[in-house]
Amino acid sequence: MPDERLDIPADRLPRHVAVIMDGNGRWAEKQGLPRIEGHRAGAASVRKITEECVRLGIEQLTLYCLSSENWKRPAEELDFLMQLLNHYLVEERPRVMEHNIQVRWIGRREELPDDAVRGLDELVECSAGNTGPRVCLAINYGGRAELVDAARRIAEDVARGELDPAAIDEEAISSRLYTAGLPDPDLLIRTAGEMRVSNFLLWQISYAEIWVTDVCWPDFREQQFRAALRDYASRRRRFGGLPEKCNC
C-alpha cells in the first residue's frame, strides 16, 4: 500500500525509479568542504531514499553511482569513492537483508578494483534470495558502452550461428543489455538542476518521465522524492499514442 501522506493510488506510482545523483561536489563547495565530503553526505541520501522506496512499495530503484566518464576526476577523489563504496557494501548489508532488498549492479567490471568487484558480487549473491524491492547500482556504467557490449554479444551470437541477423529486433538487443530481465524506468529523477541524461540508461529511458530538481543530492530527502512521485502521478503517459484516461 502507498504511504497515505502521498494520497496517490497504487496504480499511479512508478514501478521503477532511476536517479542521477548529481551535485555532491557542488554541495561540498557551497559548505566550504572538500568535494569528498559531498560524496560522504550523499551516501546518507542513498539510505534515506532506498528506505522510502521500501516503505512505498516501489519495485525497483536504480542509482547512477559512478559513470565510466568519472575516471577523469582527480585520483584522490576516485580513491575516496572506492573506499566509500567498499564501506557502503559492508555497512549496508544488514539493512539490505532486514528490508528484504535484492541488489543488482550494472557496468563494466574491468576498470574497478578487485576488492570493489568482490564486494559487489558478494552483496548481490547474499541478497539474491530476497523478494522485496530491487536496488540496482550503476557503477562504472555508461549507456553507450552498454550498447557497444550488446552489439558485440549479438555479433558473437551471429558468428556462432546462434542468431539469424534477420531475427534481430528490440528484444534481441534488450536481452543483451546489462539490465536484461529488469523493467525499464518509469521515472527518471535528476538532482542539482542539470538538464541532461549524462549517458545513463540511454536505451531504457526511451519513454521514462523526467523530473529535475535544483536540490543537490546530499540534500535530497523524502520530501523531494514524494514531490517527484506526485508530479509523475499527475502526468498522462502517451507512449507515442493518445493519452491514457486518468482518474487521479
Q: What is the CATH number of the domain that holds 214?
A: 3.40.1180.10
**What is the number of structural domains in the chain?**
1
Element (H, E) at 197: none
Active-site residue, from 3, 11, 24, 70? 70
**Residue 129 within a domain:** yes
- What single-letter DSSP state applies at residue 185? P
Active-site residue, from 3, 7, 11, 22? 22
**Residue 130 within a domain:** yes
Q: Tell me how far apart the alpha carbons of residues 230 and 74 are, in angstroms, rounded to a whole number.
A: 38
Task: Report the pLDDT value the prediction gives residue 6, as an integer from 0 to 100.
Answer: 79
Helix axes 35-56, 75-91, angle to 10 degrees: 30
| Residue 22 near residue 217, CB atoms below 8 Å | yes
**Residue 147 within a domain:** no
What Rg value do the Cα atoms of the chain yield, rounded? 19
Q: What percent of the chain has pLDDT over 90?
A: 86
**Residue 150 within a domain:** no
**Residue 163 within a domain:** no
Buried b or exposed e, range 109-120, using 16+ CB within 10 angstroms: eeebeeebbebb
**Residue 62 within a domain:** yes
Task: Report the pLDDT value the prediction gives residue 3, as an integer from 0 to 100.
Answer: 45
Task: Report the pLDDT value the prediction gives residue 244, as an integer from 0 to 100.
Answer: 55
Task: Report the pLDDT value the prediction gives residue 43, as an integer from 0 to 100.
Answer: 95
Q: Tell me how far apart the alpha carbons of residues 217 and 44 are, in angstroms, rounded to a whole number.
A: 10
Q: What angle do CA 44, 45, 47 make, to 5 degrees?
A: 65
**Residue 151 within a domain:** no
DSSP 123-182: HHHHTTT--S-EEEEEEEE-HHHHHHHHHHHHHHHHHTTSS-GGG--HHHHHTTSTTTTS
Could you list the residue range(s) of the whole structural domain that residue 63 is in? 12-142+184-234
pTM: 0.92
22 in catalytic set: yes
Q: Which residues of the chain have pLDDT under 50?
A: 1-4
**Residue 126 within a domain:** yes
Task: Report the pLDDT value the prediction gives residue 70, as an integer from 0 to 100.
Answer: 85
* 29-46 pLDDT, tens digit each: 999 999 999 999 999 999
* 127-149 pLDDT, tens digit each: 999 999 999 999 999 999 999 99
